[in-house]
Amino acid sequence: MKIKRIEHIAIAIKDMQAMSAVLQDKFGLTLEYAEELGQHQTKLAMFPVGETYVELLQGTSAAAKTSEFIKERGEGLYHICFEVEDIDEALAELKAKGTRLLNEVPMIGHGNSRIAFIDPASTGGILFELAEMPKSGH
């Protein structure tokens, strides 16, 4: 599997506006884009830092995975996303290595990317996401 970079580091938050202000006012980061992923009941905002992003995630319902995470653990680091060249190849390789996957088939995620999550039970308790970015960009 070819990992190209850390695509983003995701932070689960309760208040998008307040945390966006922290990133903008205290660190001088600029919002590149925001979107709502209805199928995941999640709003996100992407702030570039070099060649990676800080991604803010806020659940839009109590049933959203981000909302459940915050209820269990509080706000904070949610996952690390690796950009891969070929997500299908990466998932097949991980599966062949005995890695448990939360998503055996990629789904559509941020910026129209193809994404999949790795079961944290196979990665020392850390949630990792793989993303294959669209050839045309976000």
pLDDT of residue 5: 97
Q: Which fold has domain 3-128?
A: 2,3-Dihydroxybiphenyl 1,2-Dioxygenase; domain 1 (3.10.180)
The answer on pLDDT for 125 being more than 70 is yes
pLDDT of residue 137: 57
Q: How confident is the model at residue 39 (pLDDT cuts 50, 70, 90)?
A: confident
The domains of the chain are located at 3-128
The answer on pLDDT for 92 being more than 60 is yes
CA–CA distances in Å: residue 44 to residues 6, 18, 95, 119: 17, 13, 29, 22
Q: pLDDT tens digit string along 6-38? A: 999 999 999 999 999 999 999 999 999 999 988
pTM of this prediction?
0.92
3 state DSSP class of 116: strand
The answer on pLDDT for 138 being more than 70 is no
Q: What are the residues whose beta carbons fall under 8 Å from the beta carbon of 134, sequence distance 6 or more?
A: 111, 112, 113
